[in-house]
Structure 1
Amino acid sequence: MEAWLQELINALLDRLALPQLGLPAVFIVALVSATLLPLGSEPAVFGLVKLNPELFWPAVLVATAGNTLGGAISWWMGYGAERLYERAAHHPPRERRVLTWLQRFGAKACLLSWLPLVGDPLCALAGWLRLPFWPCVLYMAIGKFARYLCMTALLLWVFPNP
């Protein structure tokens, strides 16, 4: 099953890699990578900017928009899943500590949504806890914009044009 999923992802990326689909491809890859699927969007952003340096700001902004929308989708998934879980679950102490920490920081915790491995589940937990949607989306966008700006600029600095 895992090989099938990887083949599907590779086929999708091959289709989206066409030069005429640059910014839309970046948007879709960034959106999908912000869900719980294991996909990174930084290579797509860097590849587009490396081939078209004039698209630096549009690529960073489009990737930020797609990744933020993906985070918002994760928020809504967490919001919906919370009802099912609360009916049937026992909460271990560690889980309660994480949820308490997130509630203490509130929507501002979504600034960390750019982090690898924990950022996407963090968005879902924010929805789970019913933290206010629009402030969460705002903090997600700020964190994700900073990540794309720094990562793309750093990669362009490390791998300059010949």
Structure 2
Amino acid sequence: MDFDVPAYAGLFAAALVAATILPAQSEILLVTLLARGGLDPVALVAVASAGNVLGSILNWVLGRFLIHLRHHRWFPLKPAAYDRAVGWYGRHGVWSLLLAWLPIVGDPLTVVAGALRVDLTRFILLVSIGKIGRYVFIAVSTLWWTDGAV
């Protein structure tokens, strides 16, 4: 297996940005790198997971320290998305963070967790479980599809 620094760095950056309020798709890059072959699938999943969890931590910080600015036009999270995430969190509690990987509601959930002062250790644990699980599923599915066996 080759250690392609630009590939791993690019995947980390894409996963980090994808976990923030900014739009990005790290899954496509992960699938591409896995299908190309020559890189360690476990390392790819670890790098993508680390970047994605770090991006969610940035969202938590945004919610924890800057949520009072959410009504400004430049704030990256729109009021409707924030309100939807608050409702979701209100219904499902801290366990909703296991679904932080979901499109549309996942990123706002991580901001809301910061705004509601969810313990950072608990936050990281729950978010990591969901995000790592998603990347493992994508990697196993891709390897099965491209190689016929994992």
TM-score of Structure 1 vs Structure 2, range by shorter chain: 0.7 to 0.9
1:20 and 1:82, CA in 2 relative to 1: closer, same or farther beyond 3 A?
A: closer
| Correspondence 1:120-159 to 2 at 5 A | 120-159=107-146
Note if 1:107 corresponds to 2:84. no
Note if 1:50 corresponds to 2:7. no
Q: Which amino acid aligns with 1:112?
A: L
Choose between structure 1 and 2: higher helix proportion.
1
Q: CA RMSD in A?
A: 2.5
| Correspondence 1:1-162 to 2 at 5 A | 20-52=5-37, 54-84=39-69, 95=83, 99=86, 102-103=89-90, 105-160=92-147
1:37 and 1:147, CA in 2 relative to 1: closer, same or farther beyond 3 A?
A: same
Give the distance between the partners of 1:70 and 1:101, measured in 2 at CA: 20
Q: CA deviation at 1:53?
A: 5.0
Partner of 2:74: none
Instruction: Give me the TM-score of the superposition, normalised by structure 1.
Output: 0.73
Q: Which amino acid aligns with 2:121?
A: W
Q: CA deviation at 1:78?
A: 1.2
Indicate the SS of the match to 1:63. Answer: helix
The C-alpha deviation readout for 1:29-70, integer Å capped at 9, x for no partner, is: 100110011111011111112223551100001100000000
Q: Which amino acid aligns with 2:19?
A: A
Question: Kindly, what percent of the aligned residue pairs are identical?
Answer: 35
Indicate the SS of the match to 1:114. Answer: coil
Moved more, 31-40 or 100-109: 100-109
Task: Give the gaps of 5 or more residues in structure 2.
Answer: 72-78
Question: Is this contact kept in 1: 2:13–2:51, CA < 8 A?
Answer: yes
Question: Is this contact kept in 2: 1:107–1:132, CA < 8 A?
Answer: no
Structure (1 or 2) with the larger CA radius of gyration: 1
How many residue pairs are counted as aligned between the two chains?
136
Task: Give the gaps of 5 or more residues in structure 1.
Answer: 1-18
Instruction: Give me the TM-score of the superposition, normalised by structure 2.
Output: 0.78
